[in-house]
């Protein structure tokens, strides 16, 4: 009997998966290469993560999202999968993964894993077979197209990482589609066998006990079969927009290369599978109309359980902007459930991005306010590793970069390495306790004074605030499940109320740059001050 069959026949403990458990969850994203190295090769791994589960449980999170750990040539650091049913040796083995799941569940922690389904590595056996000729069994498993009469690509579609989204292949004498690197060919979801094979790979991990999946690029699965060109995005032609962007990708409205209506039926299939295991689907949405797409993909019992976008990962963190992003979900809170994150492995860290006037780094008070926002908004909070320590974006030298877009677009865009540097566990240890060997990315010198060992000892540290806040959230259902409504407030202040049974939670956060007066405090103060004045970055949380 194969290992996968053994797992499928083993009972799965569903005690950590009550109905709608994702609505009570606090998700913590682990970027495993940079979390903890256990074998001294400078790269974080599964055994290293297992050794730090106690830290996560103590912090107050209950669900761990692990970024890709499947076999991969690592052209995009795991987001180019060459085997959907095995662990890459740099992270460990299937036995290590099984042990991690058992240990996490024993500590009361759930585990969701990254599923990169829209594309594979060009080293995946499926693609290697598909590219041989036009008649093999997997010939239609990827998106192939003939050139135009003049030899140019079949459409004007662009790759996020630069240039055309089409790559010429000399064996088939056709182009194949890649929304990202040319080493990441897009799978053809119009082919039923592709869908079936991917569902089989998901069942493989569900049978091993995973509690759900984070779906990479969840709106990229289907392409337009008529291969129509995307129309131009005239707004992106403005000088202001071009000064903010390092790429021409936004010069198109991406109507035909992603976010196609066929996506919904595929989400139905994945949801039906996960419902068998009471597991969840957390979708990543990236597009022009990301809030609209988040709502579309979560608005019903047969779609994604929840989804997040990059809405709160840009520079704008004004009260007005956040109200606008949240409003569609407030209007549909009986049928849709969002997930919110202010940082992840693809964007500049919050402490370096969400700044008050005159700041070069967000103050601890402001970072506490942003944590309060995540913990009390309508939806599930997702925390990226190191945010609880207030880590800033690391400024790396060009020779230290490994991220493909950072290398391509340097110096206008330095890529994503600055938010992926190793966790800092001990101030006085080599490489801050991450590894005994030179890490794959440098440990940022400015991070060592924020090391976890220092902050755990300090009651006034940001880590200690996160710990109090998240444990408080676990004890107050109104902060997790309460009906949400906005409250009238002064400009610059986001104010809202959550109500459940006979309790009300009232939150004020000053996201502006000026001092404001707020209404007199009613009820029991939970966090913040009760002076009636909120300075920039201040917050007040009260139970009524």
The CATH number given to whatever domain includes residue 383 is 3.20.20.80
Q: How many CB atoms lie within 10 A of CB 490?
A: 17
Residue 247: predicted pLDDT: 80
Q: Got the DSSP string for 122-166?
A: TTSHHHHHHTT-SSSTTTTSB-EEPPPTTS--SS--B-TTSSBSE
pLDDT of residue 516: 95
SS3 462: helix
Of the pLDDT bands very low, low, confident and very high (cuts 50, 70, 90), residue 133 is very high
> What is the value of pTM for the model shown?
0.96
The pLDDT of residue 467: 98
CA distance 440 to 41: 9
Q: Nearest Cα to 375, choosing from 470, 497, 494, 493?
A: 470
Cis, bond preceding 411 (omega within 30 deg of 0) = yes
| pLDDT tier for residue 1 given thresholds of 50, 70 and 90 | very low
The pairing of beta strand 533-534 with beta strand 516-517: antiparallel
Range of the structural domain that residue 537 is part of:
482-543
The alpha carbon of residue 118 and the mean position of all alpha carbons in its chain are separated, in whole angstroms, by: 16
Q: Report the share of the chain in percent with pLDDT over 90.
A: 93
Percent of the chain with pLDDT over 70: 97
Q: Is the confidence at residue 241, as pLDDT, over 70?
A: no
Tell me the helix, strand and coil percentages in the chain, rounded to 5. 35, 15, 50
Q: Please, which pLDDT band fits residue 235 given cuts at 50, 70 and 90?
A: confident
Residues 94 and 215 in one domain: yes
Calpha distance 510→518 (Å, rounded): 10
238 shares its domain with 112: no
- Tens-place pLDDT, residues 304-324: 999 999 999 999 999 999 999
399 is catalytic: no
**Residue 357 pLDDT more than 60?**
yes
Please say whether the dihedral angle defined by the alpha carbons of residues 383, 384, 386 and 391, taken in this order, is positive or negative: negative
495 and 519 in a single domain? The answer is: yes
Q: What pLDDT, on a 0 to 100 scale, did the predictor assign at position 311?
A: 96
Domain match, 79 and 114 both = yes
Which of the four pLDDT bands, split at 50, 70 and 90, describes residue 242?
low
Q: What pLDDT score was predicted for residue 243? A: 57
Active-site option among 211, 216, 393, 417 = 216
The answer to whether residue 238 scores a pLDDT higher than 80 is: no
Which residue's structure tokens are 């050139």? 147
> In angstroms, what CA-CA distances link 280 with 112, 205, 276, 303?
8, 13, 10, 10
Is 216 an active-site residue?
Answer: yes
Is the pLDDT confidence value at 5 over 80?
A: no
Q: Domain check: are 303 and 400 in the same one?
A: yes
Q: Tell me which H or E stretch contains 303.
A: none
Q: Which of 150, 240, 276, 524 is catalytic?
A: 276
Question: Interior CA angle at 303 toward 301 and 306, to 5°?
Answer: 90
| pLDDT score for 358 | 86
CA distances from 440 to 68, 149, 323 (A): 16, 46, 39
Answer yes or no: do 369 and 403 share one domain.
Answer: yes
Residues 141 and 64 in one domain: no
Q: Is the torsion defined by CA of 46, 51, 55, 60 positive or negative?
A: positive
Q: How many domains does the chain have?
A: 3
- Count CB-CB contacts under 10 A for residue 9: 9
Residue 164 and residue 36 share a domain: no
Per DSSP, the three-state class of 114 is strand
């Amino acid at each position: 009997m194969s290992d996968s069959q053994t797992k499928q026949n083993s009972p799965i403990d569903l005690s950590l998966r009550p109905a709608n458990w994702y609505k009570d969850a606090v998700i913590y994203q682990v970027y495993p290469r940079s979390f903890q190295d256990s074998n001294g090769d400078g790269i974080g791994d599964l055994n290293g993560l297992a050794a730090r589960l106690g830290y996560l449980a103590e912090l107050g999170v209950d669900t761990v999202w692990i970024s890709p750990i499947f076999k991969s040539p690592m052209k995009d650091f795991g987001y180019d999968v060459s085997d959907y049913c095995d662990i890459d040796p740099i992270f460990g083995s299937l036995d290590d993964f099984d042990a991690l799941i058992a240990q996490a569940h024993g500590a009361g922690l759930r585990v969701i894993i990254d599923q990169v389904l829209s594309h594979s590595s060009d080293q995946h056996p499926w693609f290697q077979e598909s590219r041989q000729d036009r008649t093999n069994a997997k010939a239609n498993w990827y998106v192939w197209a003939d050139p135009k009469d003049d030899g140019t690509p079949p459409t004007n579609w662009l790759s996020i990482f630069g240039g055309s989204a089409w790559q010429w292949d000399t064996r088939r004498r056709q182009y194949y589609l890649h929304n990202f690197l040319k080493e990441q060919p897009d799978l053809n979801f119009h082919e039923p066998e592709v869908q079936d094979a991917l569902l089989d790979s998901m069942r493989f991990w569900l049978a091993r006990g995973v509690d759900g999946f984070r779906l990479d690029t969840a709106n990229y699965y289907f392409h337009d079969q008529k291969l129509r060109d995307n129309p131009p995005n005239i707004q992106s032609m403005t000088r202001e927009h071009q000064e903010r962007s390092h790429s021409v990708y936004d010069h198109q409205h991406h109507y035909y290369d992603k976010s196609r209506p066929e996506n919904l039926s595929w989400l139905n299939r994945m949801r039906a599978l996960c419902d068998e295991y009471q597991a969840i689907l957390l979708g990543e949405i990236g597009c022009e109309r990301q809030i609209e797409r988040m709502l579309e993909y979560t608005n019903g019992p047969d779609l994604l359980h929840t989804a997040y976008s990059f809405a709160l990962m840009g520079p704008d963190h004004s009260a007005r902007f956040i109200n606008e992003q949240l409003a569609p979900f407030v209007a549909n809170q009986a049928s849709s459930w969002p997930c919110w994150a202010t940082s992840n492995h693809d964007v500049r860290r919050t402490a370096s991005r969400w700044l008050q006037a005159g700041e070069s780094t967000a103050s601890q008070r402001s970072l506490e306010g942003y944590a309060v926002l995540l913990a009390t908004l309508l939806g599930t909070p997702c925390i990226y590793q190191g945010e609880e320590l207030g880590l800033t974006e690391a400024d790396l030298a060009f020779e230290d970069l490994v991220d493909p877009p950072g290398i391509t677009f340097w110096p206008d865009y330095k890529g994503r390495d600055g938010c992926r540097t190793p966790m800092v566990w001990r101030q006085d240890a080599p490489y801050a306790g991450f590894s005994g060997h030179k890490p794959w990315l440098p440990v940022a010198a400015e991070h060592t004074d924020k090391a976890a060992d220092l902050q755990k000892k300090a009651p006034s540290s940001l880590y200690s605030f996160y710990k109090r806040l998240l444990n408080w959230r676990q004890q107050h259902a109104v902060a997790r499940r309460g009906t949400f409504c906005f409250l009238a407030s002064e400009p610059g202040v986001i104010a809202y109320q959550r109500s459940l049974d006979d309790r009300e939670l009232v939150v004020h956060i000053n996201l502006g740059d000026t001092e404001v007066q707020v209404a007199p405090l009613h009820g029991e103060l939970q966090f913040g001050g009760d002076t009636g004045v909120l300075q920039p970055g201040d917050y007040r949380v009260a139970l009524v």
